[in-house]
C-alpha cells in the first residue's frame, strides 16, 4: 500500500501489517527507509520514507521545538 | 489473538518450509510404482508364470529398473551436498528411515536384475555361460517362486518405507499418521496394477489386474479417510494441519485431482468395466497413474507447509 | 560435563539483536542466513497487551529428532555437554533434519551441508561463553550445565517462573525463558 498525506504527498509502496500494538488511530513506520540518493546502492528506493510525509509541523513558541505529529495519512491500495 | 513477528529469514525455511520441491514427490511416485510392480510381478511368478507365456511379469522388472533409476536420479538432484552422497553407504542408522531407504534401494537392484535376467531368451545369453546357467536355475519353479517372494518382500519394503519416513518427521503434523506408509504402498500397488493392466497382453491378466486395481483404489480411499480422522482427533496442532486439506489452501487440488480424478472416477469406471457395463477404456488407468503422482505432490507440499503451531 | 543449556530472561531482553550480530560475526554465517533470531509474541487487545521478546536458536534438545532422522550420522550428539552438532563432511544435504525440527532452527549452508547454532562449542571448549551470551548488553542470557544444581542456569530455573518453546512437540528443548 502507499501512504498519502494531507498535502497530497504519496510514499513508496510498502507492506502493511495490522497490529494491536499501537493506538487505533496511528500508523507506525520504521524511520530511515525510502532513500532517494542513487549513490546509496543498497538502500536506494527500498521501503518508504516517513520524513517525506512530514510536510507540516508546529513550533513551540518558547523554545522552538518542532512537533511533527500534525500530519495525517490515508492508506491507498497498490493497484 | 497472538501476533508473531520474527527476524528469521532463512531460505527454504521461512516463511514456510519448502526444502523439497519436485524431486522428492517424483521419486516417491516412481518408487511406489516400482514397489507395486515388484509385488505384482512376484505374485504372478509365484502363481506359476514362466518366461515365454506372454505374462506381463516378464517385462515389469525391466520397466522397474528404468523407473527406479530415474527416481534415484531425482533423489540425487535433490541433495545439496551431492559429492558426499557416498556417506550414506558407509553407515546404517537404525533409527533413520532414510538410512533404511538408502539400503533398500541398493538391495532392490539385484532383485530386479535377477527378475529381468529370467526373461532374457537363453540363446542371447550363450556368450556368458555362467549367466545363462543362473538364468536357467532361476527359471526352475522353486527358484522362480522364491525370487517372487523376495520380490514381494522387497517391493513392500520399498513401497512402505517412504511413508514411514515422512510420518517420523513429527514437526510436520500433516504427516503424523501410521497409515501414511500403507497409503503410499497401496497407492504404489494401484499405480503398478493400472500400468500393468495397460501393457498386459493376456486377456485373463488384464481382467484380474483391473479387478485388483479396483480393490487397491478402494483401500487407498479408506486409508486417506483414516489419515484424516486420525489427524482431526489427535490434537489442535494435527487438526490444524488436516485443515489444510479441509478448507485450507490445498483443499481444491487434493479433492479434485488426488481424490476425485485420481481415485473416485477411475474407481467408478473400473468397477463398471469389471462388471462389463461399459466398454474398456485406457482413461481409467491413466487417471490412476496421474492421481498417484498428484497424491505425492500434494502430501509433500502440504506437509512441509504444516507446522507445530504452539508458541 | 553433563547437559549444556541456556536460560534467557525475557524481562531483560529488549530485542536489540546484538546476539544475532555477534553470532553472524563469530561463526561467519553466510549472508541471508541466520543461526539465531529475535521473535516477538504479542497477546491481547489494546490496551490490555502482553509482549514477550525472545532470542531464539537451536534448542539442543534432549530428544533431538534431527539426530534420529539423519541417514549418515552427520547430525549427532556431541560428548561434551550433549550439544547437537553437524559433521559437515558426513552431511549429504538431504534436508530431513530441516523438516524434522519443530523450531525451524536449521538451514542449508551455501556449501551444501545443514547448519545451525552450535552453542559456539569452539569457544565453550576453551572455557569461554557462546558469542551471543557474551555480548548481551542487558545480561539477559545465561549459559551453563543444567545437570549441575549449583550452576547459575539451574538456580535460575529453580527460582523463577519459566517456559520453553513448543513443549508439546516432545523434543525436550534446553533453552529456558524466564518470565
Q: What nine digits make up the cell of B223?
A: 486409508
The answer to whether the Cβ–Cβ distance between C42 and A24 falls below 8 Å is no
- Give burial (CB, 10 Å; 0-12/13-18/19+) of B265: middle
Contact B15, B307 (CB under 8 A): no
If pLDDT is split at 50, 70 and 90, which confidence band does B129 have? confident
Distance from C-alpha of B179 to C-alpha of B191, rounded to nearest angstrom = 18
Q: What pLDDT, on a 0 to 100 scale, did the predictor assign at position B121?
A: 81
Residue by residue, DSSP assigns C113-155 as SEE---TTHHHHTTTPPPHHHHH-TT--EEEEETT-TTSHHHH
* Of B251 and A68, more confident: B251
- Contact list in A for residue B3 (CB cut-off 8 A) is 19-21
- Contact list in B for residue C96 (CB cut-off 8 A) is 96, 98, 165, 169
Contact B103, C71 (CB under 8 A): no
The answer to whether the Cβ–Cβ distance between B13 and C104 falls below 8 Å is yes
Maximum distance among all alpha carbons in chain A? 46
**CB-based contacts of B46, cutoff 8 Å, min separation 6:** B144, B145, B148, B149, B152
* Residue closest to C163 by CA, chosen among C2, C9, C1, C5: C9
**CB-based contacts of B177, cutoff 8 Å, min separation 6:** B167, B183, B226, B227, B230, B231
Average pLDDT, chain B: 95
Query: Does the predicted model carry a pTM greater than 0.80?
Result: yes
The answer to whether the Cβ–Cβ distance between A21 and C49 falls below 8 Å is yes
Task: Tell me C33's DSSP state.
Answer: -
Nearest CA in chain C to B15: C104
Measured over the CA atoms of residue B227, residue B230, residue B231 and residue B237, the dihedral's sign is negative
- Please work out, in degrees rounded to the nearest 5, the angle formed at the alpha carbon of residue C8 by the alpha carbons of C6 and C12: 155
Give which of A17, A18, A19, A21 to mutate to test C binding, by max C Cβ within 10 Å: A21
Tens-digit pLDDT profile for chain A (79 aa)?
A: 999 999 999 999 999 999 999 999 999 999 999 999 999 999 999 999 999 999 999 999 999 999 988 999 999 998 6
H/E segment holding residue B215: helix B203-232
DSSP reduced 3-state for B254: helix
Q: Please indicate if any CB of chain A lies within 8 Å of the CB of B3.
A: yes
> How near does any CA of chain B get to the CA of A20, in Å?
8
Beta strands in A1-79 (DSSP E): 2-5, 58-59, 66-67, 73-76
DSSP reduced 3-state for B135: helix
Subunits touching C (CB < 8 Å, at least 3 pairs)?
A, B
Give which of C20, C76, C99, C111 to mutate to test B binding, by max B Cβ within 10 Å: C99
pLDDT greater than 70 at residue C102: yes
Q: What pLDDT, on a 0 to 100 scale, did the predictor assign at position B49?
A: 81
Task: Tell me B14's DSSP state.
Answer: S
- Nearest by CB to B88, from C72, C111, C169: name it: C72
Q: What pLDDT, on a 0 to 100 scale, did the predictor assign at position A79?
A: 67
Amino acid at each position: 500500500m502507499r501512504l498519502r498525506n494531507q498535502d497530497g504527498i504519496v510514499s513508496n509502496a510498502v507492506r502493511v501489517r495490522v497490529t494491536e500494538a499501537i493506538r487505533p488511530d496511528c500508523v507506525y513506520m520504521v524511520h530511515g527507509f525510502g532513500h532517494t540518493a542513487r549513490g546509496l546502492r543498497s538502500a536506494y528506493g527500498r521501503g518508504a520514507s516517513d520524513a517525506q510525509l512530514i510536510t507540516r509541523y508546529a513550533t513551540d513558541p518558547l523554545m522552538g521545538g518542532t512537533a511533527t505529529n500534525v500530519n495525517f495519512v490515508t492508506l491507498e491500495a497498490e493497484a | 489473538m497472538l501476533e508473531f513477528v520474527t527476524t528469521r529469514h532463512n531460505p527454504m525455511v521461512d516463511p514456510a518450509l519448502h526444502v523439497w520441491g519436485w524431486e522428492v514427490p517424483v521419486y516417491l511416485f516412481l518408487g511406489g510404482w516400482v514397489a507395486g510392480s515388484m509385488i505384482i510381478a512376484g505374485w504372478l511368478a509365484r502363481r506359476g508364470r514362466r518366461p515365454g507365456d506372454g505374462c506381463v511379469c516378464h517385462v515389469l522388472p525391466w520397466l522397474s529398473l528404468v523407473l527406479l533409476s530415474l527416481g534415484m536420479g531425482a533423489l540425487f538432484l535433490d541433495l545439496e551436498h551431492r559429492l558426499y552422497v557416498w556417506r550414506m553407504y558407509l553407515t546404517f542408522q537404525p533409527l533413520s528411515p532414510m538410512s533404511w531407504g538408502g539400503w533398500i534401494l541398493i538391495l532392490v537392484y539385484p532383485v530386479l536384475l535377477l527378475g529381468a535376467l529370467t526373461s532374457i531368451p537363453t540363446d542371447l545369453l550363450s556368450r556368458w555361460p555362467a549367466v545363462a546357467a543362473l538364468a536357467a536355475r532361476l527359471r526352475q519353479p522353486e527358484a522362480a517362486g522364491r525370487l517372487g517372494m523376495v520380490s514381494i518382500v522387497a517391493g513392500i519394503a520399498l513401497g512402505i518405507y517412504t511413508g514411514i519416513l515422512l510420518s517420523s518427521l513429527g514437526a510436520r503434523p500433516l504427516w503424523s499418521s501410521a497409515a501414511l506408509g500403507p497409503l503410499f504402498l497401496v497407492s504404489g500397488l494401484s499405480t503398478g496394477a493400472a500400468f500393468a493392466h495397460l501393457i498386459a497382453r493376456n486377456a485373463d491378466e488384464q481382467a484380474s489386474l483391473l479387478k485388483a486395481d479396483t480393490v487397491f483404489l478402494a483401500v487407498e480411499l479408506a486409508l486417506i479417510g483414516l489419515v484424516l480422522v486420525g489427524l482431526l482427533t489427535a490434537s489442535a496442532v494435527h487438526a490444524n494441519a488436516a485443515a489444510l486439506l479441509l478448507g485450507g489452501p490445498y483443499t481444491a487440488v487434493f479433492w479434485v485431482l488426488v481424490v476425485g480424478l485420481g481415485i473416485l472416477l477411475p474407481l467408478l469406471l473400473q468397477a463398471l468395466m469389471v462388471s462389463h457395463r461399459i466398454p474398456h477404456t485406457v482413461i481409467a488407468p491413466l487417471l490412476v497413474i496421474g492421481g498417484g503422482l498428484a497424491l505425492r505432490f500434494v502430501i509433500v507440499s502440504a506437509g512441509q507447509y504444516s507446522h507445530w503451531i504452539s508458541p | 560435563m553433563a547437559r549444556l543449556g541456556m536460560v534467557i530472561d525475557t524481562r531483560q531482553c529488549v530485542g536489540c539483536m546484538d546476539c544475532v550480530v555477534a553470532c553472524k560475526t563469530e561463526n561467519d554465517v553466510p549472508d541471508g542466513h541466520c543461526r539465531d533470531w529475535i521473535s516477538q509474541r504479542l497477546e491481547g487487545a489494546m490496551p490490555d497487551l502482553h509482549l514477550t521478546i525472545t532470542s531464539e536458536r537451536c534448542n539442543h534438545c534432549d530428544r533431538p529428532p534431527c539426530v534420529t532422522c539423519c541417514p549418515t550420522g552427520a547430525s549427532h550428539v556431541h560428548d561434551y555437554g550433549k550439544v547437537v552438532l553437524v559433521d559437515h563432511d558426513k552431511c549429504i544435504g538431504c534436508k530431513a533434519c530441516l523438516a524434522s525440527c519443530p523450531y525451524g532452527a536449521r538451514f542449508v549452508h551455501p556449501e551444501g551441508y545443514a547448519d545451525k547454532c552450535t552453542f559456539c562449542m569452539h569457544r565453550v571448549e576453551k572455557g569461554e561463553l557462546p558469542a551471543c551470551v557474551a555480548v548481551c548488553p542487558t545480561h539477559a542470557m545465561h549459559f551453563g550445565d543444567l545437570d549441575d544444581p549449583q550452576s547459575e542456569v539451574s538456580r535460575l530455573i529453580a527460582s523463577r517462573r519459566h517456559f520453553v518453546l513448543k513443549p508439546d512437540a516432545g523434543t525436550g528443548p534446553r533453552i529456558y525463558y524466564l518470565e
